[in-house]
């Protein structure tokens, strides 16, 4: 592990992730725009619904990205090259296996999905055609979580950016060719994404070829070592529980908002995009925290761990301040861009101050997530969420009846503050373990 933890090093990790994240919404916009040229509403709905169904299924395995980053960063910090390679092999086996399971189980999964999210017969038929093709990319899509986590752990975020740009660029080009040029419709969008996913995996594997060069990944005794498999299962299991709890809290936020009227629901949906922008923009600094604290943990250097936590958090706070300022100045214009109904625009403006405050309130919890993932204090991260969610539920129960949607947004801010306070109490364990 390198000794210096400088501001330049943090930015070298973080900025490619920020740029990479910025390309994600562009792809969704192009998919929608291309099928929109078909002149009917059903294809747009089918692509949107199908993409949401697959994203929900793939999200279950998102722990692979976070868990892999923490474990690999620590192995790299310890100078354990065989374990760096073995971690990638384990994660790829899980990713590929999970994708195959989804392919085999696609019929009951999609039946259940359409029961939970019913659509017209035309939209459902087109969505089924889309999903029947896209599902064959499941092993590649889930394995990309593993490769992304591995590359981030080794500070190779520019490689992550290269893969993302390649996948999205190819997807856009094939969208235009297959749909507008060849007239393949919804199936053309699915095939374009399928090709992009597998080609992206091939590029990522090539960029990670150093892990395969020395042959450690073929060492079955190392890859399937019981202690390492148990640790991986524990880390990933904790992250999954934490993520499910967090997703449940956000889902309840949307459901409660739906009960406050159609205009309020629409305004909240518009404002939720500000949260997405915040997450995309600040992820890079949290990822840098994962990488650098994980390497310091593996090298048993508590001072370096503290330095990594401080420097990455300084940039995280700077990013949060910039976002808050941007939302304050440009928020009304962003709202007008995303909504045309006057009543929705007016309602969104009323609640905009909560989104101006959100980056500043949430940055501590996001940065601590990164620190705890890197140092694999995942049990503590899970336990902090077990504390924060009941606090959020209590806040919503008290504040929503009294203050309506203002109370709902306040409860969401309470959730992030409670997460941060709970994790902050556990932080000394990270430095103690690094010193051991």
Residue-level pLDDT at 1: 53
Residues 6+ apart with CB under 8 A from 138: 54, 57, 58, 98, 99, 100, 102, 103
Decide if 291 contacts 150 (C-beta within 8 A). Answer: no
Rounded Cα–Cα distance for residues 82 and 103 (Å)? 32
H/E element holding 262? helix 262-298
Rounded Cα–Cα distance for residues 143 and 163 (Å)? 13
| Phi, psi values for residue 214, rounded to 5° | -90, -5
Sequence ranges of the domains in the chain? 1-224, 226-436
For residue 339, give both structure tokens.
């909504």
3-state secondary structure of 250: helix
H/E element holding 78? none
For residue 353, CA distances in Å to 194, 335, 339, 346, 414 come to 41, 13, 18, 13, 15
Q: Give the Cβ contact number of residue 303 at 10 Å.
A: 12
| Phi, psi values for residue 3, rounded to 5° | -80, -35
Rounded Cα–Cα distance for residues 70 and 77 (Å)? 11
Residue-level pLDDT at 265: 83
Rounded Cα–Cα distance for residues 303 and 112 (Å)? 51
For residue 364, give both structure tokens.
């501590």
Helical H segments across 40-80, by residue range: 41-59, 63-77
Residues 6+ apart with CB under 8 A from 351: 267, 268, 271, 405, 406, 409
Residue-wise DSSP of 151-170: HHHTT-HHHHHHHHHHHHHH
Decide if 60 contacts 114 (C-beta within 8 A). Answer: no
For residue 311, CA distances in Å to 213, 285, 330, 375 come to 34, 9, 28, 16
Instruction: Tell me the torsion sign for CA atoms 21, 25, 30, 31.
Output: positive
Residues 6+ apart with CB under 8 A from 281: 18, 21, 319, 323
- Closest among 195, 196, 99 to 138, alpha carbons compared: 99
| Phi, psi values for residue 322, rounded to 5° | -65, -40
For residue 109, CA distances in Å to 60, 100, 431 come to 13, 13, 44
H/E element holding 17? helix 7-36
Largest CA distance in the chain: 64
Decide if 364 contacts 415 (C-beta within 8 A). Answer: no
**Residue-level pLDDT, tens digit, the chain, 436 residues:** 556 889 999 999 999 998 988 777 666 667 767 777 776 777 877 887 888 888 888 988 989 999 999 999 999 999 999 999 999 999 999 999 999 999 999 999 999 888 877 778 888 888 899 999 999 999 999 999 999 999 999 999 999 999 999 998 999 899 899 988 898 888 998 999 999 999 999 999 999 998 888 777 788 888 889 999 999 999 999 999 999 999 889 888 888 887 888 888 888 888 888 888 888 889 999 999 999 999 999 999 999 999 999 999 999 999 999 999 999 999 999 888 877 788 888 999 999 999 999 999 999 999 999 999 999 999 999 999 999 999 999 999 999 999 999 999 999 999 999 999 999 999 999 999 999 8
Residue-level pLDDT at 166: 94
DSSP 217: G
For residue 250, CA distances in Å to 208, 309, 326 come to 35, 27, 24
For residue 211, give both structure tokens.
């892990």
């Amino acid at each position: 592990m390198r000794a210096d933890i400088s501001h330049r090093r943090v930015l070298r990790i973080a900025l490619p992730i920020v740029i990479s994240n910025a390309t994600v919404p562009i792809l969704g916009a192009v998919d929608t725009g291309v099928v929109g040229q078909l002149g009917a509403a059903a294809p747009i709905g089918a692509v949107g619904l199908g993409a949401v169904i697959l994203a929900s299924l793939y999200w279950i395995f998102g722990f692979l990205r976070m868990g892999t980053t923490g474990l690999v960063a620590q192995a790299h910090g310890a100078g354990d090259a065989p374990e760096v390679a073995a971690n990638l092999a384990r994660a790829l086996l899980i990713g590929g296996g999970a994708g195959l399971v989804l392919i085999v189980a696609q019929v009951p999964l999609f039946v259940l999905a359409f029961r939970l999210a019913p659509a017209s017969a035309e939209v459902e038929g087109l969505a089924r055609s889309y999903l029947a093709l896209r599902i064959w990319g499941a092993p590649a899509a889930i394995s990309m979580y593993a490769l992304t986590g591995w590359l981030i752990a080794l500070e190779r975020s520019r490689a992550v950016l290269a893969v993302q740009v390649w996948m999205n660029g190819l997807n856009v080009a094939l969208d235009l060719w297959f749909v507008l040029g060849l007239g393949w419709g919804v199936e053309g969008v699915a095939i374009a994404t399928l090709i992009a996913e597998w080609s992206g995996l091939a590029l990522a594997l090539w960029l990670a070829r150093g892990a395969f060069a020395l042959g450690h990944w073929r060492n079955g005794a190392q890859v399937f070592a019981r202690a390492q498999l148990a640790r991986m299962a524990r880390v990933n299991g904790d992250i999954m529980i934490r993520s499910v709890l967090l997703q449940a809290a956000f889902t309840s936020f949307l459901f409660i908002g739906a009960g406050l009227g159609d205009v309020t629901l629409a305004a909240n949906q518009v404002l939720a995009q500000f949260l997405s922008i915040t997450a995309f923009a600040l992820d890079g600094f949290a990822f840098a925290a994962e990488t650098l604290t994980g390497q310091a943990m593996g090298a048993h250097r508590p001072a370096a761990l503290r330095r990594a936590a401080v420097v990455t958090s300084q940039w995280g706070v700077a990013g949060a301040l910039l976002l808050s300022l941007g939302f304050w100045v440009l928020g009304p214009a962003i709202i007008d861009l995303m909504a045309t109904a006057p009543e929705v625009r007016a309602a969104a403006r009323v609640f905009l101050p909560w989104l101006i405050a959100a980056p500043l309130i949430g940055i501590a919890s996001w940065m601590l997530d990164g620190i705890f993932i890197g140092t694999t204090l995942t049990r503590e991260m899970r336990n902090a969420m077990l504390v924060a969610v009941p606090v959020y539920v209590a806040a919503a129960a008290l504040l929503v009846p009294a203050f309506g949607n203002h109370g709902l947004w306040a409860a969401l801010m309470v959730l992030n503050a409670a997460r941060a306070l709970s994790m902050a109490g556990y932080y000394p364990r990270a430095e103690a373990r690094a010193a051991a």
